[in-house]
Structure 1
Amino acid sequence: MSPRSLYRFVSIAEAITWSLLIVGMLLKYVVQAGEWGVQIGGFLHGLVFIAYGMTAVFIGVNQHWKARLIALACLTAIIPFATIPFDQALERRGALGGGWRSTRTSDPRDHTRLSALLRWMLARPVLLASIMGIALVSIMATLLTIGPPGGAS
């Protein structure tokens, strides 16, 4: 899976989970169907929201994005469905082109510790997936322990 296809997959998944959360909220507050729609949609959205942020940072480092662009990518997940047009804008700019940077090049940006760590992780895909999975579950578990945004309703 290329950086482009991974980013696209997660940005679409993030938009889909926004839809699930909104439908859950409509079921709860308009139809009075109870909490279940928000609980399921909210859980899935929270999980994919975090995964999108992690993916944006990882791909941003791979693609040599400036920190401001990585932050903007992460912020688009806050606005419903904004990840899709942001993905399209990145595509138009050529910011998603190319493959994984698994080897050091003459580009000075490939001579940083962060780039070395990226190459090291890319050379160990099972370890990379495990670390990302553990981070995702840990962040989600912490947030579930803290409670829902705005408190319980």
Structure 2
Amino acid sequence: MHLLSPKQVFRIVSILEAITWSGLLLAMGLRYLAQQEVPFFFAVGLAHGFVFLAFVVVTVIVGLNQRWGLGRIALVALSALPPYVTIVADVLLERRGMLAGGWRTEATDDPRDAHPLDRFLRWWLARPWLLATVVVGGVVGVTAALLVIGPPGG
């Protein structure tokens, strides 16, 4: 049984993404004003990067569940790049009814349900705790790899 709907999951992560943008912008402003490193800048940047990656993954999962096209999934994922646009995306998707409904955990008469990607998605959605664990673990792994690689531009 799922505790949260696709709309609720998307909303939570889109709001978290906007909150971490606020923290990052504040830290960057303080760093600029102080003309020196701000002690919490690394932690805020790390949190923002983690939530950014989580937003992209959640967008893909919700988009596949809601049967958005690939272009829409990509456009919504890209809404995390400018500050606060994830909130705009959330509002627009809800107004258009594109976040309505529950998780598609069982096949229906819809011929699209026979597609291998839909079957794969249903398998994961039927195991929400496993999916959440894999998503969080994957985002942690990618975040750790990016930390090892280092910031863009050296």
Is residue 100 from structure 1 mapped to residue 103 from structure 2 by the alignment?
Answer: yes
Pairing 1:40–2:43 present: yes
CA distance in 2, matches of 1:127, 1:44: 23
CA deviation profile, 1:43-66 (whole Å, cap 9, x unmatched): 110010000000000000100000
Post-superposition CA distance 1:3-49 (Å, at most 9, x none): 00100000000000000000010111113352323212111100100
Q: Could you tell me which residue of structure 1 aligns to residue 68 of structure 2?
A: 65
Distance 1:44 1:110 in 2: 36
Q: Which is further off, 111-120 or 26-35?
A: 26-35
2:23 paired residue number: 20
- Give % identity: 48
Q: Report the AA paired with residue 95 of structure 1.
A: M
Q: SS at 1:95's partner residue?
A: coil
Structure 1: gaps spanning 5 or more residues = none
Bigger RCO of structures 1 and 2 (CA < 8 A, at least 6 apart): 2
**Equivalent residue letter for 2:52:** F
Work out the number of aligned pairs and report it.
151
Q: Which stretches of structure 1, 4 residues or more, deviate above 6 A after TM superposition?
A: none
Name the residue aligned to 2:149. 146
CA distance in 2, matches of 1:85, 1:149: 27
TM-score (norm 2): 0.93
Residue 126 of structure 1, CA deviation? 2.3
Say which SS state the counterpart of residue 86 (structure 1) adopts.
Answer: helix
Q: Which residue of 1 aligns with 2:135?
A: 132
Which whole-Å CA distance do the structure 2 matches of 1:57 and 1:92 have between them? 19
For residues 102 and 52 of structure 1, what CA distance do their matches in structure 2 show?
A: 21
Whether contact under 8 Å (1:21, 1:37) holds in the other structure is no
Q: Secondary structure at the match of 2:108?
A: coil
User: What CA deviation, in whole Å up to 9, does each residue of 1:68-92 have, x standing for no partner?
Assistant: 0000011000111100011111011
Counterpart check, 1:111 vs 2:114: yes
TM (normalized to structure 1)?
0.94
